[in-house]
Amino acid sequence: MFRTITDTRLNDLHFKHDESSGLKAIIAIHDTSRGPALGGCRFISYQTTDEAIQDAVRLAKAMSYKAALAGLDQGGGKSVVMAPDGDFDREALFRAFGRFVNELGGRYITAMDCGTFTDDMDTIATETAHVTCTTAMGDPAPYTAQGVFGSIKACVAACKDLPDSLEGVTVAVQGLGHVGYALCQLLHQAKARLIVADIAQDKVDQCCKAFNAEAVSPEDIHKVNCDVFSPCGLGGILNNKTIQTLKCRVVAGSANNQFADPDSGLSLHRQAILYAPDYLVNAGGLIFASLRHVGESDKVIRKRIDGIGETLTRLFKRQAQSGEPISLIADRMAETILYGNDQGRMTA
Ligand code: NAD
C-alpha cells in the first residue's frame, strides 16, 4: 500500500469502519497544494478492499490533474463507500460517512459520483459542511455532459477528414447514465447520429426512443464503425485488446480512468486515434461542484466549462508540434501546474 502511495504521490489515505451502520469507506487525498481536495463519493460493490483502495487512489490522483488543468484552486481527492451485502439503512450509512468526512476538518470535500445521488449528499450535509452537489446545489452530470460535448466538438474540428459541425457525425456512446444520457441529448440536438449501449435495457430503450439512436450490445459498442467513441460508463475500457478493435477517429468520453494499461495512450497514438484525456474532458462536473460550492453563478460556471474545449485545442496544437501522445502532453501540463518546473517539464 505504501508503494502505491509513493508511486502516485498521494498525500494521505483514510479508512472508516462504522459497525452500527455497516459503513466501510476509504477517503484518498492526493494533493491539497492548490486548495482542499474535492472529489466524488463512489458507492459500488467491490470484490476486495484492495480493489476499493486502488480505485480511490487512482481516482483521487485524476482529480488533482483535473482540477489543475481546469485552473481551479482545488486539490484532488476521492472517496469510496463499499456497497454492503444484503439489506442496509442508506440514511444511516451516509450519515456515518458524513461524520467521517467531517473528521478531516475540510481537507476533503465530497460530492456525487457513480452510485450516489443528490439525496445522499443531503444526508451527508446533516453531518458536515464539507459536501457539495446537494439537492439545493444540483446534479453535476449535465455540466459534465456540456464539457464532453464541447470536447467532442473540438476533436471533430481538429480532424481534417471529419465535417466542420457535428451534423451527420456518428458517435457511439457507452453508458447512458446521468452523463451519457445528457450527452446524447446534446448530440441529438446537434444532429449527430447516435449508436448507444448500456447494461440497463430500459436506459437503452429510452435513448433510442428520445434520440432516434441505434442500439448495440455492451460487448460490441467499442467495436462499431463510428467517428467518435464516447466511453461514459465505468473506467478501464481502453486496454491493449479493446484498442485494437476500435474503428473510430476520436475517443472522447466522461468515464474516469479510461486507460486499463499504462501504455494505452501510446497504443491510441500509434493507431492515429485522437484521444481527448478523460480528466480534462470530464472536468465540467468538478468545475460546477467547486464553483457552486462558493456560490458562483450558472453563467460563470457554464463559461468556465466552455474553456475545456479550448484547452483541448491547445493540446492538439502541442501534439502537432511534438508528435507525442496527447495523454503524455496532458499529464505533463497537469504535473507542471501541480509540482512546478523542477523536473524540467514543459510549461503549461
Ligand atoms: P452513472 O452511474 O449514472 O452511469 C453509468 C452508466 O454506465 C449506467 O447507466 C450503467 O448501467 C452503465 N454501464 C456500466 N457498465 C457498463 C458497460 N460495461 N457497458 C455499457 N454501460 C455500462 O454514472 P455517471 O454519473 O453517468 O458517470 C459516468 C462516468 O463518468 C463514470 O465513470 C464517472 O466516474 C464519470 N464522471 C461522472 C461525472 C458526473 O458529473 N456524474 C463527472 C466526472 C466523471
The CATH number for 26's domain is 3.40.50.10860
**Rounded CA gap, 193 and 132, in Å?**
35
Closest residue by Cα to atom 18, ligand 1, is 218
Q: Considering the domain boundaries, does residue 85 fall inside one?
A: yes
Q: Considering the domain boundaries, does residue 307 fall inside one?
A: no
Specify whether the CB–CB gap between 211 and 205 falls below 8 A: no
Q: Assign 81 a pLDDT band (cuts: 50, 70, 90).
A: very high
pLDDT tens per residue across span 214-231: 999 999 999 999 999 999
Determine the distance separating the centroid of ligand 1 and the alpha carbon of 235, expressed in angstroms. 9
Q: Which residues contact 256 (CB under 8 A, 6 or more apart)?
A: 59, 62, 235, 278, 279, 282
Mutation to probe ligand 1, out of 42, 282, 305, 308 (largest number of atoms < 8 A from CB): 282
Q: How many domains does the chain have?
A: 2
Residues present in the chain in total: 348
Q: Considering the domain boundaries, does residue 69 fall inside one?
A: no
Within this chain, do residues 157 and 95 fall inside the same structural domain, yes or no? no
Q: Considering the domain boundaries, does residue 271 fall inside one?
A: yes
> Which domain, by its residues, includes 163?
141-283+314-335
Q: Considering the domain boundaries, does residue 240 fall inside one?
A: yes
pLDDT tens per residue across span 111-145: 999 899 999 999 999 999 999 999 999 889 999 99
The CATH number for 253's domain is 3.40.50.720
Residue 78 annotated among the catalytic residues of the structure: yes
Determine the distance separating the centroid of ligand 1 and the alpha carbon of 208, expressed in angstroms. 18
Angle at 238 between CA 237 and CA 239, to 5 degrees: 110
Q: Considering the domain boundaries, does residue 100 fall inside one?
A: yes
Q: Assign 235 a pLDDT band (cuts: 50, 70, 90).
A: confident
pLDDT at 341: 60
Q: Considering the domain boundaries, does residue 200 fall inside one?
A: yes
- When the pLDDT of each residue in the chain is averaged and rounded to a whole number, the result is 93
Within this chain, do residues 92 and 55 fall inside the same structural domain, yes or no? yes
pLDDT at 284: 97
Within this chain, do residues 276 and 148 fall inside the same structural domain, yes or no? yes
**Closest atom of ligand 1 relative to the 174 alpha carbon:** 20
Determine the distance separating the centroid of ligand 1 and the alpha carbon of 67, expressed in angstroms. 20
Q: Count CB neighbours of 274 within 10 A.
A: 22
pLDDT tens per residue across span 173-206: 999 999 999 999 999 999 999 999 999 999 999 9
Which of the residues 24, 61, 66, 78 is marked catalytic?
78
Nearest to 184 by CA among 222, 218, 152: 152
Within this chain, do residues 24 and 53 fall inside the same structural domain, yes or no? yes
**Rounded CA gap, 244 and 242, in Å?**
5
Using only C-alpha atoms, the chain has a radius of gyration, in whole angstroms, of 19
